[in-house]
Amino acid sequence: MDPFTLTAIPIDLVGDVSAYELDHIFEKQCFAHVVARADLGKDDHNQIVDLLREEVVNVDENLSLTRKSVNQLKGRGVYGFLDDRATGHQSRDADLTSYLLNANNGDEKLSRKETGRICGEIKKSAKRAQLWFDDQGENRPFEVTAEEIQKLITDLKL
């Protein structure tokens, strides 16, 4: 089942495989944004990137099969939010939901219910990532990364 639209995914995707994509629930671009904002030296940065890839980003709990159109709209909304956050062009009341609702692909847009589900799934996945880093013990690069993930969760208003 697609966690965002709550529609069944065909068991046999032959002939319809291009309509679906494997989605990173907490987008890869979110992790890149977190690492870019974290105060890390080069060696720590590389270590965190490697650990993110292996232990957090590409794990089953952060992956979902979803409709290609939904994944593209989700990606546009997240990209817009992160871009405005990075450049300081965000209003104080901006949240991920508004960016998702404004994302479009021609006439296609996400519904309010879909954006609610997307935000809920992103929050769960982001919290899992944050807790993974918290659980690694007292290690400055891990603590800084966990803090940056929490700041992003707060700014997304999930």
Distance CA 144, CA 158 (A): 20
pLDDT of residue 20: 86
The residue count of the chain comes to 158
Ranges in the chain, pLDDT < 70:
13-17
| DSSP character at residue 139 | -
Distance CA 96, CA 115 (A): 9
pLDDT of residue 15: 62
Measure Cα distances from 103 to 14, 18, 34, 99, 145 in Å: 29, 21, 22, 6, 28
pLDDT of residue 5: 86
Q: Which long-range contacts (CB under 8 A, 24 or more apart) does 92-96 make?
A: 95/156, 95/157, 96/122, 96/156, 96/157, 96/158
pLDDT of residue 33: 95
| Per-residue pLDDT tens over the stretch 50-87 | 989 999 999 999 999 999 999 999 999 999 999 999 99
Q: Which of 152, 66, 157 is nearest to 110 (CA)?
A: 66
pLDDT of residue 105: 83
Q: What is the mean pLDDT of the chain?
A: 91
Flag whether the pTM goes above 0.75: yes
Going along 92-138, which residue ranges are E strands? 104-105, 108-109
